[in-house]
Homo-oligomer: A and B are copies of this chain.
């Protein structure tokens, strides 16, 4: 067991994956000698060299498009897009190709690749550096989407993503990169894609979240327990797509109440999908409307106001209390 933060855990997973499989290569802007603008690729260039840790020209569609070719050829490219706010430049390559090659060739050509990108707000970054649009990928059939919330699951999910035979979007909650440390086991582990985790058992209300918003959710749950004597069950989705309907509905069937928390804009965001599935499976168990604590339907504001935009413990708490007293 070693204690480390999420940045280190992701770095460790890359290191391990490259060590065990020489088809794994890392590519992106500044991932080489600079070791990534968040230092996620630290040590990789020194260890594996420029043939496997590739600084690309500044062109996101170029990065993803060439990675698709490499993956079809037999490599396992792990691409870094410097900030998720720039992955729109390559969305057409993901939608039209990465997501479709297996399907349109009836399984003959496959695209085992990963697109990593830091997402979300909270670090006082420049414009276009704080976006949270995982819902777009969840709405894109043929892509899997995973989002870790802590060092240990970050490492395990990245291994799962790299080993997956299909393209996986791996969004990293950048606000968590160096926010806290956690024990990470010596031996490599993976987590199944498509499975949520119950990180705290409870009976009164289900709090559903993922990524950076898990911090606010956990904090709110603590206050709920201490101040209100309410036992919240907390679901960490981990997989945004496929979504683990079963874990969600089982919990809501038990508690009858739910709050869904994420940073991305509200309309057509992940919370809407979670609510739709709750509606389909356990509507009659609901004691109150499911409440969404999400980013608003505006671009995340520039950093002087971003904290007001982001879900925080107070917002989750308020929503939970509303739900509980409905």
Contact = CB atoms under 8 A, between A and B. Distances in A.
Nearest to A275: B276
A89 B88 contact: no
Interface string A246-272: 000000000000000000110111111
A286 B85 CA distance: 39
A193 to B, nearest CB: 15
Interface in A102-152: 103-104, 127-128, 133, 135-136, 138-142
A316 interface: no
Interface residues of A, number: 51
B273 A141 contact: no
A297 interface: yes
Contacts of A290: 276, 279-280
Contacts of A276: 271-272, 275-276, 290, 292
A125 to B, nearest CB: 15
A35 to B, nearest CB: 26
Contact of A279 (B127, B128, B136, B289): B289
Contacts of A141: 265, 267, 296-299
A313 interface: no
A130 to B, nearest CB: 13
Contact of A85 (B89, B96, B243): B96
Contacts of A48: none
Given A91-B88, A272-B276, A104 B267 contact: no
A222 interface: no
A95 interface: yes
A4 B290 CA distance: 45
Contacts of A273: 267-268, 272
A281 B276 CA distance: 14
Nearest to A292: B276
A103 B279 contact: no
Contacts of A281: 289
Contacts of A8: none
Interface string A230-253: 000000000001010000000000
Contacts of A267: 138-139, 141, 241, 243, 273
Contacts of A89: 92
Contact of A269 (B88, B268, B288, B297): B268
Central interface residue in A99, A133, A270, A289, by most chain B CB within 10 Å: A289
B88 A95 contact: yes
B268 A135 contact: yes
A92 B133 CA distance: 12
Give the interface centre of A86, A133, A283 by most chain B CB atoms within 10 Å: A283
5 shortest A-B CB distances, which residue pairs? A88-B92, A272-B276, A139-B268, A272-B272, A283-B289
Given A88-B92, A141-B299, 8 more contacts: A85-B96, A88-B91, A139-B267, A142-B299, A243-B267, A278-B279, A280-B289, A280-B292
